[in-house]
Structure 1
Amino acid sequence: MSHYQASEQRYETMRYNRCGHSGLKLPAVSLGMWHNFGDVDVYANAKAMMLRSFDLGITHFDLANNYGPSAGSAEETFGKVISRELKSYRDELIVSTKAGYYMWPGPYGEWGSRKNLISSLDQSLTRMGLDYVDIFYSHRPDPETPLEETMGALDQIVRQGKALYVGISNYNAEQTREAIAILKRLGTPMLIHQATYSMMNRWVEDGLLDALEDGGAGCIAFSPLAQGMLTSRYLGGIPVDSRAASSNSPFLNTKDITEEKLNRIKRLNEIAAERGQTLAQLALAWVLRQKQVASVLIGASRIEQIEDNIGALNHLQFEEGELSAIERILQ
């Protein structure tokens, strides 16, 4: 039996942004469960981070079928916390999950067929102990399946009541425009695109944000801190216990963090200090300045990181001079 009682102040400081042209508002900061919520991690820490997030007004928890490790275990962790602590708050939560990357052997265990997407969501709902998710994504475009089939599966999932909204992730601008058009014809508008976006990775500015604006869809940015590069972690160089120093990290390693990048990070940190922010807070506020970006997805291994990241909301406005100075550094 749960003894958890959510903070009565949880909605007082969080900012909620409308997602595209929909009726749905997302917290400006959402919690991503890509890392640190698997069965290799400490359950008590995962639970503590989820509950503290909710107490701070983070209502959106983002998962995927393959998050862990092991694959599927982040959803199982989430399901435990929901059933034991957050069950009475289900209608205050936005739960999202995805399918598209490798999950089980054989021809139906990945990509974007109707068979894979619907089977995967059924498995995800079982792992989380839920009747439906709020947002379901096609996690990546499938070069061998017609986009009409992938989008048709998303439409079917909403009509079956297994998801309230649908979105896509990792699609380019042209694919996004086509996906939006197909879903519009089917009568299930596309809610959201989950895209990687940070000061160090600005590809969404080259057409994708315009496609979302034109199509009435919102954006949620993942890796807004560039795998930790845009935090205080690397201001003094590369720590031996960091992700970049780990030889088995597929996302960030020592060759990614050049002297030039370290110099940029230090100069950005000076601007953050002048604004009374940490570097992470500056980086999050910079991504949130885009009108299409409804939310930033943060990852965390400790409660303190979540608290620091939410501090970005205390200073979201930029003066023209600040933006110009940041632009000079980034170029």
Structure 2
Amino acid sequence: MRINDHQPLPPYVANEARYDKMPFRRCGKSGILLPQISLGLWHNFGHNADFKNARHILRQAFDYGITHFDLANNYGPPYGSAEENFGRIMEKDFRPYRDELIISTKAGWDMWPGPYGNLGSRKYLIASLDQSLKRMGLDYVDIFYHHRPDPETPLEETMGALDHIVRSGKALYVGISQYSAEDTLRASQLLKEMGTPLLIHQPRYSMFDRWVENGLLDVLGDEGIGSIAFSPLEQGVLTDKYLKGIPEDSRVAKDGRYLKKEQLSDEVIAKVKALNEIAKKRGQSLAQMAIAWLLKDERVTTVLVGVSKAEQLADNVKALDNIRFSKEELDAIESILRNK
């Protein structure tokens, strides 16, 4: 069911000072600059969400200078609904600003029944992007990602599909997500041979999930590929939300698919409390420090945040006021994370 938005917001005019404070980083060795914070539409933008609130968040994001909105074919729920709602907001608010935006979408997870609606075949990727463009009312996206590795489909086929998508004008750039260091290197080399460079990698990365440090960041740096870190707050663990127990309105209480109660062990909460004390001394919230900690590495182009309220977005953006760490701070954080 489509969400009710009978109480429309006033006509949108973007903040003239939107680029005054947002810092941008070059994405690898490309011509693209990305804001150091990008907005993901994974949650809170589907048909189960408050459309007016979603629209308000997107408006505020652009007013802050956040030019990158990240989607995927299966974001919702239901699948496709985040793209549909974004398309409605695009038409209402952002059509005059299209050329100031980087809009991305992805395909790789299950989207429709049968053998052609999942993983990494040429048929699935091209068909999925066609559907995404219709839902969003766009002629092209700026970045199209393969959303996850496919161990069965030859990488040559998947990368060939991405190359075709760029050459057909349906995407300006391509990316991959959650690929290993080895497969990222192979993907990059294949795309270079085809003449369509790999722009960006979207890995899961946070203080509590550091797999990218075991080779992937080195490949990205060597190959000139940008990166956009998702789940920087570990589904809310790296905030002050769970310091005094599990709130009734929290995601873990309402929806255990992405964060389970057993992940909030006494050991984890003890680490979170210790990290929170360091954040306080820095004059930051724990969420702000967790974002800043990722951005300390120049190979991280941008951090992808997801919010349910405009106030959360405002808090996240304030992380950019201080992304520098002293050696003492880094050593203290490392000691906590490694539980020494």
Pairwise mapping of residues 85-124 of structure 1 onto structure 2 (< 5 A)? 85-124=93-132
1:68 aligned partner, one-letter code: G
1:181 to 182, 189, 202: 189
1:196 aligned partner, one-letter code: R
**How far apart, in 1, do the equivalents of 2:204 and 2:185 lie?**
18
1:276 aligned partner, one-letter code: G
1:267 aligned partner, one-letter code: A
* Equivalent residue number for residue 27 of structure 2: 19
**How far apart, in 1, do the equivalents of 2:62 and 2:201 lie?**
23
Check conservation: 1:60, 1:93, Cα contact below 8 A.
yes
Which region of structure 1 is more displaced relative to structure 2, 235-244 or 286-295? 235-244
1:102 aligned partner, one-letter code: D
Are residue 290 (structure 1) and residue 297 (structure 2) matched?
A: yes
* Equivalent residue number for residue 199 of structure 1: 207
Cα distance, 1:7 vs structure 2: 0.3
Check conservation: 1:102, 1:109, Cα contact below 8 A.
yes
* Secondary structure of 2:301 counterpart: strand
Calculate the TM-score normalised by the size of structure 2: 0.96
**How far apart, in 1, do the equivalents of 2:270 and 2:250 lie?**
18
**How far apart, in 2, do the equivalents of 1:243 and 1:194 lie?**
23
* Secondary structure of 1:273 counterpart: helix
Cα distance, 1:214 vs structure 2: 1.3
Which segments of 5 or more consecutive residues in structure 1 lack a partner in the other structure? none
2:39 to 14, 31, 34: 31
* Equivalent residue number for residue 314 of structure 1: 321
Cα distance, 1:241 vs structure 2: 2.6
Pairwise mapping of residues 161-240 of structure 1 onto structure 2 (< 5 A)? 161-240=169-248
* Equivalent residue number for residue 140 of structure 1: 148
Cα distance, 1:274 vs structure 2: 0.4
* Secondary structure of 2:241 counterpart: helix
* Equivalent residue number for residue 126 of structure 1: 134
* Secondary structure of 1:244 counterpart: helix
**How far apart, in 2, do the equivalents of 1:322 and 1:120 lie?**
45
1:123 aligned partner, one-letter code: Q
**How far apart, in 2, do the equivalents of 1:200 and 1:3 lie?**
41
Cα distance, 1:251 vs structure 2: 1.4
Which region of structure 1 is more displaced relative to structure 2, 5-14 or 232-241? 232-241
**How far apart, in 1, do the equivalents of 2:299 and 2:73 lie?**
26
**How far apart, in 1, do the equivalents of 2:105 and 2:310 lie?**
23
2:174 aligned partner, one-letter code: V
**How far apart, in 2, do the equivalents of 1:184 and 1:236 lie?**
50
* RMSD between superposed Cα atoms in Å: 1.0
Are residue 73 (structure 1) and residue 85 (structure 2) matched?
A: no
Calculate the TM-score normalised by the size of structure 1: 0.98
* Equivalent residue number for residue 254 of structure 1: 261
**How far apart, in 1, do the equivalents of 2:334 and 2:114 lie?**
47
* Equivalent residue number for residue 92 of structure 2: 84
**How far apart, in 2, do the equivalents of 1:315 and 1:111 lie?**
39
Give structure 1 regions of 4+ aligned residues with deviation exceeding 3 angstroms: none
* Equivalent residue number for residue 335 of structure 2: 328
Which segments of 5 or more consecutive residues in structure 2 lack a partner in the other structure? 1-7
**How far apart, in 1, do the equivalents of 2:156 and 2:100 lie?**
33
**How far apart, in 2, do the equivalents of 1:320 and 1:150 lie?**
42
**How far apart, in 2, do the equivalents of 1:220 and 1:99 lie?**
17
2:124 aligned partner, one-letter code: N
**How far apart, in 2, do the equivalents of 1:98 and 1:258 lie?**
33
* Secondary structure of 2:92 counterpart: helix
Q: For 1:19-51, what per-residue CA distance to the aligned partner results, in whole angstroms no more than 9, with x for missing partners?
A: 111110000000000000001111000000000
Cα distance, 1:106 vs structure 2: 1.3
Cα distance, 1:84 vs structure 2: 0.9
1:194 aligned partner, one-letter code: Q
Cα distance, 1:237 vs structure 2: 2.2
- Counting aligned pairs with the same residue, the percent is 61
1:141 aligned partner, one-letter code: P
**How far apart, in 2, do the equivalents of 1:45 and 1:241 lie?**
17
Check conservation: 1:237, 1:262, Cα contact below 8 A.
no
1:36 aligned partner, one-letter code: N
**How far apart, in 1, do the equivalents of 2:29 and 2:118 lie?**
31
